[in-house]
Structures are given as structure tokens and as C-alpha cells.
Amino acid sequence: MVCPRNANDLTPRALRGRDVLLRPACSDDARRLAAWHSDPDFVGSFFDPWPESSDAWEERISTRTPEEDTFLICERNSGEKPIGTAGYWNPYTLPRVFRGLEIWYKVHPSSRGRGVATQTASLLLDHLFNSLPVERIQATVVSANEASRRALLRVGMQCEGILRRVYFLHGTYVDVDMFSIVREEWNTRA
């Protein structure tokens, strides 16, 4: 499915990897995204469920900027069945001081352990470094989230430190690892 968005939309129709493609989310996806994020199995052990209405998701999808986008991760070989969601956003509120983008992804439990997150992170990095004048891309991961940490290391990101007790998870504050890759590292990756 390819959904039209708006006339000024600069997002590519889809980012194609070996087994998955990332297509921009559209309003038809709002119900699915709302349901997924309300489901404890989908969000996994390192997020609290995030109950939000499909209207809220529709609003988020329709008000995206060049610094924020949401994608559906789809299987390439099964009629582009949605198996997760991913995206990027600007975590920095003062661009005069700090600049960068942050990537994120969530893979449906039925599709985990098959390299989907790794391919997704790689597609997002290639897309952002190829299409925007961004110097730094980061990802934040609860320190205990070994699968996500490994996916980020696999695509050439490095852990640059720990944000101690920054994230409130299941009723307690936990540490989060800050990963990043800068353009020069992406240019010279093997």
C-alpha cells in the first residue's frame, strides 16, 4: 500500500532493504499504530504501553516535518505485510546549540530475531545521511535491551555513554545508553 500524503511531501515512497521495506505511514495506519503501541507484547519489556487514540496517531502522521517521520516496516516477500514501525525525530530543542536526529524502531513479536531491526536501522541511517545535511544520528536504548544494542552496534553506531536514571520504566528510573554515528564514520564504513 502506498498512501498519498501532501503535495509538499519530500519523503521517499519507500526505503527498500533486502527483506524489508520502510514505507511512510499514512492515515490508514493510525488504527494499527494505536493498537500496537497499546499492546504490552508489541512494545516489549523496555517500554510501558503507550495508549493513544488513533486520532492522535493520525494527527502525528499528518503533521510531520523534515525532522520527524514515521514508517511502517513491511516484509518485501509477503505482499508488504506490516511487521513493525520505525522513524526518526529531532531530540534537540535548541538548534543554535545542539543538532542531530534520533532513530527508533519496534518490530512485531512474530517477526523478531530475523534481522528486521538491523536492516531497519541501516535503511534509516542511509536515508538520513543521503537526504539531509545531518552530521550526527543517535539512538537511545534502555541499557538492558540487548537485542536493540546489538542491532545498533551491527550498523556501525557506538555507545558513547549512559544517561543515568533518565527513563521512567515500569515504576522506576532506569539507565539509558546513548548510541551515535557521525557522517564521517558512515562515509567510511566497511
Using the minimum distance from each CB to ligand COA, give the nearer residue, 22 or 141.
Answer: 141
Per-position b or e across 109-135, b if 16+ CB within 10 A of its CB: eebeeebbbbbbbbbbbebbbeeeebe
Q: Which residue has the cell 529531532?
A: 90
- CB of residue 127 to ligand COA, shortest distance in Å: 17
Using the minimum distance from each CB to ligand COA, give the nearer residue, 5 or 154.
Answer: 154
- CB of residue 16 to ligand COA, shortest distance in Å: 17
- CB of residue 109 to ligand COA, shortest distance in Å: 8
Q: In whole angstroms, what is the distance from residue 55 CA to residue 185 CA?
A: 39
- CB of residue 133 to ligand COA, shortest distance in Å: 25
Q: In whole angstroms, what is the distance from residue 83 CA to residue 71 CA?
A: 11
Q: Quick check: 11 and 5 in contact, CB under 8 A?
A: yes
- CB of residue 45 to ligand COA, shortest distance in Å: 7
Using the minimum distance from each CB to ligand COA, give the nearer residue, 8 or 78.
Answer: 78
Length of the chain: 190
Q: In whole angstroms, what is the distance from residue 135 CA to residue 22 CA?
A: 22
Using the minimum distance from each CB to ligand COA, give the nearer residue, 113 or 171.
Answer: 113
CA 58 vs CA 7, 10, 26, 64, 79: distances in Å: 17, 18, 8, 10, 24
Binding site for ligand COA (CB under 6 A): 43-44, 46, 105-107, 112-118, 141, 145-148, 150-151, 154
Using the minimum distance from each CB to ligand COA, give the nearer residue, 145 or 180.
Answer: 145
